[in-house]
Amino acid sequence: MQPRFRETAFSHGVSRLDQLPDDRGIEIAFAGRSNAGKSSALNRLCGRKGLARVGRTPGRTQEINVFTLPPAEDWRLIDLPGYGYARVSAKQREHWDRLLGGYLQKRQCLAGLVLIMDVRRPLTELDWQMLDWAGARRLHCVLTKADKVSRQEAQRQLHAAHARLEEAGIDASLQTFSALKDQGVEDLRGLLTEWIEEEGENTAMPDQTA
């Protein structure tokens, strides 16, 4: 059973972890700095122009937004609040930290994290914080806005980010992406489909300890 990304639909937004759906099924989370292109990447992935709101003001996503992913009733895409935007209060930033960190560290049905980063500014200090929260979960880094730089520069940034992650002992796959040019969309869909299929196989395996 494969995910039907084009039928993804917004379910609801939550401001507390206890408002999330029951911790079962399969979730794939999307995280990234404000203005890194996370909403545009989600919209392009799902082929739905207005699915995730693209705001002119960075930091607009202030809740965890939950999207259903057919055909399974308990498959979900999770849009985490954008982080790193300066024009929010310290109290709001602390709330986001608790929400993001708590979700990534505690959510059992989380199959993997897609970290969205601007190809021109990958692996900022706050991105490393996100990676620390994610721990050993599956990780895929998407370097967005590849249309803003030359192909050579995009590849240079891709290889440099891979080397830095490898040096830090972090196992991750990486790709470049452009929502504007429709670049890397099928690669991302294919990878997430693999994650879901693998997770489904793992959860369907019978208990061998009995």
Q: What is the pLDDT of residues 85-136, one digit of tens each?
A: 656 677 877 887 889 999 999 999 999 999 999 999 999 999 999 999 999 8
Cα–Cα distance, 47 to 42 (Å, whole number):
8
DSSP code of residue 7: G
The residues with which 31 forms a beta bridge, in sequence order, are 115
Measured between alpha carbons, how far is 137 from 114 in angstroms, rounded to an integer?
A: 10
Q: So where are the chain's domains?
A: 5-204
Q: How do residues 65-86 score in pLDDT, each as one tens digit?
A: 999 999 999 999 999 988 876 5
5-204 belongs to which CATH class? alpha beta
Residue 83 pLDDT: 83
Rounded distance, CA 134 to CA 101, Å? 8
Q: Which helix (H) or strand (E) holds 125?
A: helix 125-134
Q: What is the mean pLDDT of the chain?
A: 90
Q: What is the CA radius of gyration of the chain?
A: 16
Q: Indicate yes or no: pTM above 0.85.
A: yes
Burial (CB count within 10 angstroms: exposed 0-12, middle 13-18, buried 19+), residue 114: buried
Q: How confident is the model at residue 179 (pLDDT cuts 50, 70, 90)?
A: very high
